[in-house]
Each structure stands twice: as structure tokens, then as C-alpha cells.
């Protein structure tokens, strides 16, 4: 019975069909793309955390203004709450 070579590794065959290159190069390419994707997610998550921390700082500053708002009639309370 003849053995069909190339059927035992489905992932490599799929990569060869998609990229049209050898298994080692396509595996390296996919791994590099995966690492870049993980780095992109990490950088965006770090930016999101930094923005949320800035919002917290602004909120604390506005709440400090809101504590004094009873004495300052120029600042309306609902202007401070809609942030």
C-alpha cells in the first residue's frame, strides 16, 4: 500500500497552500505576524489604561471643584456631573 506523503501534517500543508512557500518559512512568517499582533494588542491596552487613569485624575480634580461649588455661585452643579 502506497503511503501519501504530506498528509500527516495538516497545519504545514495549509500554510503551504495559503502562502505558497515551504513549511519552515511559512511557520516563521505566521509566528512573526502573531507576535506583532500580540504587541499591537498590548500597546493599545496600555494606551487605554493610560487614558482611563487620566480620566480618573480629571474626575478627582472636578470633584475637588465640586466641593467648593457651594461657595462659588458661578459654577452650576449639573455642569460638573455630566462629565
The neighbour count for residue 15, using CB atoms within 10 Å, is 20
Whole-number Å distance between alpha carbons of 5 and 2: 9
Q: What does residue 42 show for φ and ψ, rounded to 5 degrees?
A: -65, -45
Residue corresponding to grid cell 502506497: 2
pLDDT at 41 over 70: yes
Residue corresponding to grid cell 500500500: 1
pLDDT at 28 over 60: yes
Annotated domain spans of the chain: 10-81
Q: Which pTM value belongs to this model? A: 0.37
Sorting pLDDT into bands at 50, 70 and 90, what band is 62? low
Whole-number Å distance between alpha carbons of 69 and 74: 8
* Average pLDDT across the chain, whole number: 66
Percent above pLDDT 70 for the chain: 33
Whole-number Å distance between alpha carbons of 34 and 15: 14
Amino acid at each position: 500500500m502506497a503511503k501519501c506523503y504530506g498528509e500527516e501534517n495538516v497545519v504545514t500543508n495549509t500554510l503551504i497552500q495559503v502562502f505558497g512557500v515551504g513549511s519552515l518559512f511559512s511557520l516563521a512568517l505566521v509566528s512573526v505576524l502573531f507576535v506583532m499582533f500580540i504587541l499591537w494588542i498590548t500597546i493599545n491596552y496600555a494606551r487605554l489604561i493610560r487614558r482611563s487613569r487620566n480620566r480618573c485624575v480629571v474626575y478627582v480634580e472636578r470633584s475637588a471643584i465640586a466641593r467648593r461649588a457651594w461657595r462659588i455661585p458661578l459654577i452650576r452643579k449639573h455642569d460638573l456631573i455630566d462629565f
